[in-house]
Homo-oligomer: A and B are copies of this chain.
Amino acid sequence: MAQNIYDDPAFFAAYAGLPRSVVGLDGAAEWPMLRSLLPDLVGRRMVDLGCGFGWYCRWAAEAGAASVLGIDLSTNMLERARGTTDDERITYEQQDLDALDLPAATFDVAFSSLTLHYLVHLDAVLTAVHRALVPGGAFVCSVEHPIFTAPTSPAFASAADGHPIWPLDAYSLEGPRTTDWLAPGVVKHHRTIGTYVSLLVAAGYTIASLIEWSPSDEQLVDHPEWTVERDRPPFLLLAARRH
């Protein structure tokens, strides 16, 4: 099973202080682009894998979804998510995504934000989601970009002339990466873009979009500190269809 770092008190406290935890989707720089990959949700049934505080579930309900199922491993996250809504269309369920169990052909849309890189058995998850989607259903997700997860020292360094460089190494060496992000010993699973695509194709999806997110010119006006994100993409966004 995946590491349950969100139930680590120190990690959870730090996570709860991040902009995206405090102000919600407006604090998630990649959200406008990720949202653009989602189909019209009016009357649709959506499942959110790794729902966290439920921001995306509540957004989907507001966007007209008929039902939204949020799944997370963390007791902390689900408690917070349940406390923020009384919308009867939204339900939350505790599951280890690495052993995901969903009924067949019951969702029009599957969604996952910044969760899949924590999972050990991505092939099984993608197959379970494929089975849970109706034919023609959409799968939309974001993960930390492989360029971001690969390095043995994942932090910007300086070139001789002082400009920032991302010290890439070990890109093709897939497997766990232990980093100290918000708490010591957070385990992520590094996979290449090639692996994400081949697992999706093997599981029976058609690739619709693959976006290596970087800030737009408009975003840089408000957030000039994001300029460095154009040197190496922090997020990979994928959209696929069950065929």
Contacts and interface: CB of A to CB of B under 8 A. Distances in A.
Mostly, the A contact residues are mixed
Contact of A207 (B164, B169, B201, B214): B201
Interface stretch (A12-20, A93-101, A175-183, A225-233): A225-233
A10 B201 CA distance: 44
Contacts of A166: 167-169, 171
A170 B209 contact: no
Nearest to A197: B210
B169 A164 contact: yes
Interface in A194-238: 194, 197-198, 201, 206-212, 214, 229-233
Q: Which of A152, A163, A167 has its CB near the most chain B CB atoms (within 10 A)? A: A167
Given A192-B212, A207-B201, A210-B193, A231 B171 contact: yes
A173 interface: yes
B231 A169 contact: yes
A233 B192 CA distance: 10
Contact of A171 (B153, B201, B232): B232
Interface of A: 147, 151-153, 157, 159, 163-173, 192-194, 197-198, 201, 206-212, 214, 229-233
Given A166-B171, A172-B231, A194-B212, 11 more contacts: A147-B147, A147-B171, A163-B169, A165-B169, A166-B168, A168-B168, A169-B232, A172-B233, A194-B211, A201-B208, A206-B206
